[in-house]
Amino acid sequence: MEVVVDTTVFANPNVYNHFHEDRAEASKLILQRFRQKGIAVYTTPMVAKELSRFIPVDELEGMWIIKAPDPTATIPAQVFLDYLTELRKRFDKGLRIAEEFTRLEPDESHIRTLREKYRTLVRSGILDSPNDLEIILLTKELDAFLVSSDIGMLKMAQAMGCKIIRAENLHHFFQNV
């Protein structure tokens, strides 16, 4: 069995606190648990670089395999069309939110609220970064399980036929495997 892990496995306290309160220690314990179960763990160079901002990834050397996805990988046309349709809906809703806020007096609290609403609307529950796409492409390439707590990634991975493990349930997964 092989898994591909994204940043949320190590950065989301709802995931790592099941293993240790310290993020770096939890990261090691999670990877050790996979190894004990005979499960190979992969991630991408982009995710390893992102993680290096808050955990010492050099200490994880040998506990996971860092691999870029095949650059010739493809995305099924229907998956891409559905994604673009969803983006269009979100942008239209975002425009309506912006129009609503143009009717208010400009002040910092309104601007902050506009940013929060817009960010939530546009980015929540949808694939929103190159890192996320790389992880999904690698998962598909390896026919592995994606381990993530990112709803947008999980939805896109399922649309592309990938198997998933919700990172929030990782502690249960280890008990049952």
Q: Which fold has domain 2-69+131-176?
A: Rossmann fold (3.40.50)
**Residue 141 pLDDT level (bands cut at 50, 70, 90):** very high
Could you read off the pLDDT of 71-125 as tens digits, one per residue? 999 999 999 999 999 889 988 888 888 888 778 777 888 788 888 887 777 777 8
pLDDT in tens, 49-59: 999 888 888 88
> CA-CA distances (angstroms) from residue 143 to 1, 32, 80, 160?
9, 22, 20, 11
pLDDT value, residue 56: 87
> Is the pLDDT assigned to residue 153 strictly greater than 90?
yes
Percentage above 70 pLDDT, the chain:
100
d(CA 74, CA 5): 20
d(CA 122, CA 174): 34
Please report, for the chain, the start and end positions of each structural domain, with discontinuous segments joined by +: 2-69+131-176, 77-123
User: Residue 59's pLDDT is what?
Assistant: 85
**What pLDDT score was predicted for residue 143?**
98
